[in-house]
Structure 1
Amino acid sequence: MSSPNHIVVFEHQKHTFNLKNNKEKEIHEALEKYHGNYTPFFKLIRNGVQFNQHVGVLKVGNTTIEVLPKADTKGEEVWRPLLIDMIKTIWGFNVKTSGNADLKLKSNSILDLYFELFVNELEFLLHRGLIKKYNKKEGNLYALKGALQFSKQISQNLTHQERFYVKYSNYDVNYKLHCILYKALKMIYQINNKVDLKSRIGNLLLNFPEMNDIKITESIFDKIIYDRKNQHYEKALQIAKLLLLNYHPDISKGKDNVLALMFDMNILWEQFVYIILKHDLKDLGVHVKAQASKKFWQSESGTKSKMKPDIILEKDNTTIVLDTKWKNLYGDKPSPEDLRQMYAYHQYYEAIKTVLVYPGEEEKLISGNYFKIGNDDSLSNHICSIAFIKTHENIKEWRKNINSFVKRNLLNISVEQ
């Protein structure tokens, strides 16, 4: 599907540019400049770039570079919707938004997905009515309003007795949350290429009150406190944060702006498996935990080191530790580092078994035992298994595969066919 304005690659793949073509040369230069600011998404190679385990979208000017996951031989027509559905599952979108519970999102890329979700959320907020808030202001007015500031009244209005220097409260919609949403809306308006969204974004700009421009930083989002009055803003602000903090405008040229919505596939796979198991095993008495850390080392100065397995399953006073790996494992031999890590989980979490979980073209479980300490010829009861869970082009079937595999092979729970 690659074209001058839409390039499609897979994770870990190389892409080279024809530097004799002006457009491709501009894209290459923009990526070089973006890489110079440090990006973990790709490395520079001769006349091009090589991507790593990060997937998603890089928007360079008018060109969209899609980086798709690839755990099997399926092509882009399968992995594009699967990636979008994985993100919907993790974020809890479930092809629904608070504005319209039956809305079906028809996105062609992750970028389109987030643009659509943001537009849907803003339409919902405008329909419901924007929150108004008291803002404290002070200045010269031609009518007495609020509290007169005597010292400044004398210093500034001695010859202008028709004016009043006052401090007052103004009840309006121009405050921080709306400034963030308005800035994200204007950014989307500049870089959106979807025809069916263009008019909706234009309507939002016409109906959304014009806001003050503010500088966007990570800290501005950290300071937001959600309560019963603004809780319905959270999803729109989450998407605004994702878009604004990953947007890198090219100030020098103004045409090769870079928007990077990239996700580490290892983390996506871990979160995807965790969300599915947590949701689908809760009625079976299985407690599913993620990133449950434990201390295992301390220096003389007091600094500590922790271990943190991806997923822990607890049932009937037994513990199973899962460590997800998004990569192709050729054969049945994990790396020594992974096996040592799983052995440590046995000891510190008192697990009856540990499991390395990979995506695969076929379902398979390979079990192995650690040797006893001090006896190289005798196997212990500590089990570390390698699980290959079959991927599927339909997200619902893939979800079933994960559930049934864990129930049958790890929890010994019968699965209805």
Structure 2
Amino acid sequence: MPNIQVFEHSFLAIEGDFGQRHFMALSKLNAFHNDKYFCIRHNGIKFKQYVGVIQVDGLTIEILPKIDNHNGDEALWQKALIEMLRITKKLKVQKVDQANVNRQNIHLLDLYFEWFLNEVQSLIHQGLIKEYYKETRNVKALKGKLEFAAHISKNLVHKERFYTTHQVYDKDHLVHQILSKALDIIEKCTKGNYLYSKCKTVQLDFPELKNISVTEATFSKIPKTRKTAPYETALAISKFIILNFAPNISSGSENMLALLFDMNNLWEEYILARLKQSDREVTVYGQQSTQFWNGISIRPDIVIENGLHKFIIDTKWKNISYSQPSTHDLRQMYVYNDYWKSTKAILLYPSNETKFDGFIKFQDHHIHKHTIYNEEKIEQHECGLGKISIFEDDQKTLNQNIGNEIIDWFISPK
């Protein structure tokens, strides 16, 4: 199966493995999602800030993050994306180097499919649960509630049958039907792939079930009980797979599966997760909101508490090659400081190298009064511009110490 790797915000022309039928399928997918994933050009696709993987008509397109115009190492950025998804718990691999990323033509779909298959195999080994559910059909013995009108119309000839609504206790219930639907999708998407035989093995061990139509509303009907608790991870992955499977969007009868993530949101969640891993004595919160005006609320990306002090972080996934942030962003940080009684805020950007030159005070007469150790101390709003690298200095190893580095900017600023 052909595999194309591209970077966010890059252009993919209609040529080679990427043909007209793929272009038409992606155009329909984009229109279905209100044109948020790509910009459609007359001879190709211009990607936006969404990263992940799309599979359509035998072609896999993997969209990778990138923060500069110099380092075009696809393997490095694939590894970085997998690590960000792992840290934010959107993907389960024990370690990036163990994720089989060196296997030829491996991509994110393989990792999600393998995760799901492993979860289902584990459930099978534990023993699949039985559930009670109601069934209405003809039976040879009277049980449950006799549906009189339907019984008369269906059984005028067959007097030995009864048309009833009754309870059944077996494995053919909603939870397993959803997992089975996800297995069917994986079977379609892995033909010719190393996971195909594993999927077929899991399907053979899975019971025969009714084929149901699964929508987002279907997942809200899943009972949350002690018996279904072990199924939570498998159901979460199946929801991700099923709801992103679009068999009717692609051109012709080919199936399409698109797993895409907004890098702005993923960057924010990644930084939040790294901060929570820090060994500094602080408390970290994500997206605390407060009322601003007429029912409109505001919320900074990250709030850090250190004793009586609060600090604000607003993450921006974009390459800021200049030294000055936008006026809009600075005004936003001023408001966050004001509403959260914070005196220090940082606009945080990704970069090739980590750099922080300290805080600069806002030039105004609005000041905060903080009571510290029973003494009144007057402090003024400050904001800093922080650039952080997700890699170590060698630009090949992922930086595990990001959280400590960022917190130290607040606690021990330069």
- Which of 89, 108, 111 matches 2:87? 89
1:274 has 2:272 as partner: yes
Q: Which amino acid aligns with 1:28?
A: F
Query: For 1:342-377, what per-residue CA distance to the aligned partner results, in whole angstroms no more than 9, with x for missing partners?
Result: 000111001120001111111111332211149xxx
Match of 1:301 in 2: none
The CA distance in 2 between the partners of 1:258 and 1:143, in whole Å, is 46
Distance 1:280 1:296 in 2: 31
Distance in 2 separating the partners of 1:155 and 1:250: 37
2:362 to 370, 374, 390: 370
- For the Cα contact (< 8 Å) 2:361–2:381, is it kept in 1? yes
Aligned Cα root-mean-square deviation (Å): 2.8
Kindly indicate whether the alpha-carbon contact (under 8 Å) linking 2:53 and 2:108 is maintained by their aligned counterparts in 1: yes
Quote the sequence identity (%): 38
Shift of 1:197: 1.2
Q: CA deviation at 1:134?
A: 1.4
C-alpha spacing 1:154/1:218, structure 2 compared with 1 (3 Å) = closer
Contact 2:313 2:346 in 1 (8 A): yes
1:168-187 equivalence runs, <5 A: 168-187=166-185
Q: Name the residue aligned to 1:68.
A: 64
1:165-191 CA-partner distances (Å, limit 9, x unpaired): 443221111111111110110011001
**Secondary structure of 1:140's partner?**
strand
Supply the distance in 2 between the matched residues of 1:104 and 1:411 (Cα, whole angstroms): 36
Query: Counterpart of 1:386 in 2: which secondary structure?
Result: strand
- One-letter amino acid matched to 2:29: Y
In the comparison of the two structures, how many residue pairs are matched? 392
Determine which of 326, 332, 345 is the counterpart of 1:341. 332
| Cα distance change, pair 162–407 in 1 and its aligned pair in 2 (3 A) | closer
SS of alignment partner, residue 46 of structure 2:
strand
Offset, 1:128: 1.0
Describe the shift of the 1:127–1:372 C-alpha distance in structure 2 as closer, same or farther (beyond 3 A): same
Distance 1:134 1:360 in 2: 55
In structure 1, the residue matched to 2:380 is 381
CA distance in 2, matches of 1:142, 1:222: 34
Amino acid at match of 1:368: I
The question of whether the paired residues in 1 share the 8 Å contact of 2:350 and 2:387 is answered with yes
Alpha-carbon distance change, 39 to 210 in structure 1, aligned in 2, over 3 angstroms: farther
**Deviations 1:232-283, CA, capped at 9 Å, x for gaps:** 11111111111111111147865432211110001001000111212334xx
Task: Name the CA distance, whole Å, in 1 between partners of 2:141 and 2:259.
Answer: 50
Secondary structure, aligned partner of 1:400? coil
For residue 7 of structure 1, report the CA deviation from its aligned partner.
1.6
Is the CA contact 2:8–2:48 (under 8 Å) kept in the aligned structure 1? yes
Deviation at 1:207, TM superposition (A): 1.5
* Bigger mean CA deviation after superposition, 134-143 or 359-368: 134-143
Residues 370 and 177 (structure 1 numbering): CA distance in 2 closer, same or farther, change over 3 Å? Answer: same
Q: TM-score, normalised by structure 2?
A: 0.87
Determine whether 1:204 maps to 2:199. no
Alignment pair present for 1:56 and 2:52: yes
| 2:100 alignment partner, one of 102, 106, 119 | 106
Give the superposition deviation at 1:93: 5.0
Alignment gaps of 5+ in structure 2: 367-378
In structure 2, what is the Cα distance between the partners aligned to 1:258 and 1:357?
Answer: 36
Matched with 1:412 is 412
Q: Work out whether 1:224 is the aligned partner of 2:222.
A: yes
- Go from structure 1 to structure 2 and tell me whether the alpha carbon gap of 1:396 and 1:241 turns closer, same or farther (over 3 Å shift): farther
SS at match of 1:91: coil
Identify which range, 104-113 or 143-152, moves more after superposition. Answer: 143-152
Question: Separation in 2 of the partners of 1:211 and 1:147?
Answer: 24
Equivalent position amino acid for 2:313 in 1: L
Alpha-carbon separation, structure 1, partners of 2:55 and 2:317: 25
Q: Does 1:40 align with 2:31?
A: no
Corresponding letter in the other structure for 1:85:
E
Q: Which runs of 5+ in 1 are unaligned?
A: 299-303, 375-379
Secondary structure of the residue aligned to 1:161 is coil
For residues 368 and 193 of structure 1, do their structure 2 counterparts lie closer, same or farther at Cα, with a shift above 3 Å needed?
farther
Instruction: Tell me if the contact between 2:314 and 2:346 (Cα under 8 Å) persists in the aligned partners.
Output: yes
- Could you tell me how far apart the structure 2 residues matched to 1:144 and 1:24 are? 60
Residues 158 and 249 from structure 1, CA distance in 2 versus in 1: closer, same or farther, beyond 3 angstroms?
closer
Residue 9 of structure 2 is matched in structure 1 by: 12
Could you report, residue by residue, the CA deviation over 1:318-361 in whole angstroms, capped at 9, with x for unpaired residues? 10000011110012101111000000011100112000111111
2:314 aligned residue: 323
Tell me how far apart the structure 2 counterparts of residues 92 and 30 of structure 1 sit (CA, whole Å): 26
Equivalent residue of 2:195, what SS?
helix
